[in-house]
Amino acid sequence: MKQENSQALLWNQAAIKILDIRHTALAPGEGLGPYKLPASVFLFSTRGNAQVLVDGTAYMAKGFQLMHSGKGATLQIVLAGEAFEYYSIFYKQRFRHPQARACLNC
């Protein structure tokens, strides 16, 4: 089975609980982190540009963009000159069926 299909099957068996939603506005010269993520997170940028580092790997967030990272990763945000705004949606997933857990390594 292809990796994409197994991941889709897993998400179909997952129950998601939203833990927290945060809005953050960083002014020029500000930044975030390094910050160890307490839960999995979707980061949705809404304004500006920034370099987002996840465990040291750099990604550029420009305008409206959606990023994801898992629990325990280290997040750092470095502004690219202008203000940067984003939402963090922290969540926890649970697998409803024991078979879904076994598929984590498929």
Is 81 inside a domain boundary? yes
Is 6 inside a domain boundary? no
Q: Looking at the predicted structure, is the pLDDT value of residue 99 above 60?
A: no
Given pLDDT bands bounded at 50, 70 and 90, which one contains residue 105?
very low
CB atoms within 10 A of CB 33: 13
Of 3-12, 24-33, 76-85, 88-97, least confident by mean pLDDT is 3-12
pTM, entire model: 0.77
Is 51 inside a domain boundary? yes
Q: Looking at the predicted structure, is the pLDDT value of residue 37 above 70?
A: yes
Is 36 inside a domain boundary? yes
Is 33 inside a domain boundary? yes
Is 77 inside a domain boundary? yes
Quick one: pLDDT at residue 23?
A: 97
**Counted domains in the chain:** 1
Residue 27: domain span: 18-91
C-alpha distance from residue 104 to each of 32, 59, 66, 98, 100 (Å): 32, 26, 24, 11, 7
